[in-house]
Amino acid sequence: MADVEILGFAHPSFGAVKDAFAANFAEGRELGARFSLVREGETVVDLHAGFADRARTRPFGADTLATLFSTTKALAALMMARLVDQRRLAYDQPVAEVWPEFAQAGKAAITVEQALSHQAGLCGFVEPMEPSLWFDWQAICDRLAAMAPIWPPGTASGYHPLTYGYLAGEIFRRVDGRTLGRALHEDLAEPFGLDIWIGLPDAEHDRVAQVQRPSALPDFGEINAATRAAFLSPWSQPGGRPEAEWRRIEVPSANGHATALALARLFGALADDGWLDGEQILSPALIGELSRERIGGQDLVLPFEMSWAAGVFRNAPLKAWGPAEQSFGHSGWGGSCVFADPERRLGGAYVMNKQSTDLVGDARPKRLIEAAYAAL
């Protein structure tokens, strides 16, 4: 891939970012990728290159959609924050107030912010089930409502790779009446021309980049009951259905699709007091509440010390997105990420289709983001 053509643009002051992007391809780290930066509402970097398919016959273009995996959680967190901003929901409100069935098995006191910051103890299912059950929204929500937490809620975080989306999505649906993915499309994506989807219509499937999966599993560190439930049981991941069906359904933790530019514009707004194209999509007060730490320390599922906010994580202590400790966002399995840096009014996003084994802090976007900060 040394001779791959780098398309798009970078402001002259960000020339080193383009060089870093080209280096990722030259070193064989990429198949197809896109990286975008928005500063004070202006797009300053938007680069794409490579191929959207494993056979290397289809370009990774400006209209190519990438599967976001857990970067999707940042979108869900934003939609939940908008409910709080509208005073239709409160972060410190018990989940059971809007979802009464959730109070089963000692969960009556779990709050919305505890569910969003991975403290609920519901990171996966201990009891066996068919992997195809993940395609049945109501069945998964019923299991979560009936389930006893794996650890005492509020005492620690334990990353909820898939169940986060059902928890956030069901809370959202109970308050708003619409699914989270539909509300995202109607309230933000369509009005602002953002190529972002949770629940992808069939007409858009041909634009999705094929994923080249890694040859090994990530390093989960010391394995415990929470890690097994979250990632390592035979039923911890969806299965038994065609990939197209997975794209169609809404799982606000894992199956978002977007371009890097759309993500960067959205989180660029969160870095700029909530302003997007002259409209405020979230108040500065709620941006502060969204990104405020709810729990920090060693995560029970991920092999990292984490600083969890209300559905996003903070850049400190991992420093996944440059030097800014107050940055917040999310990363996805294989390398994708989105972040907002309110101090510098900078938002950025990276998407790709060649996955690495890194759970957080993939070397490819880190290289790009570090080059961007060096140029500021």
Q: Which residues are catalytic?
A: 70
Report the sign of the C-alpha dihedral through residues 122, 123, 129, 133, in that order.
positive
In the chain, the amino acid numbered 55 is A
CA angle 352/357/362 to nearest 5° reads 55
State the DSSP code for 147.
P
Report DSSP letters for 69-85, one per residue: ETTHHHHHHHHHHHHHH
- 3-class state of residue 341 by DSSP: strand
Q: Distance between CA 66 and CA 262 in Å, rounded?
A: 11
Contact by Cβ (8 Å): 38, 346: yes
Residue 48: strand pairing partners: 7, 34
User: In terms of C-beta density within 10 A (0-12 exposed, 13-18 middle, 19 or more buried), how is residue 12 classed?
Assistant: exposed
d(CA 43, CA 64): 18
Q: Distance between CA 371 and CA 16 in Å, rounded?
A: 6
CA atoms within 13 A of residue 191's CA, in its CB half-sphere: 13
Q: Are 61 and 259 in contact (CB under 8 A)?
A: no
User: Do the Cβ atoms of 129 and 107 come closer than 8 Å?
Assistant: no
Strand partners, 59: 51
Distance between CA atoms of residues 170 and 153, nearest Å: 19
Label residues 236-246 b or e (16+ Cβ within 10 Å = b): bebeeeeeeeb
The DSSP secondary-structure symbol of 231 reads I
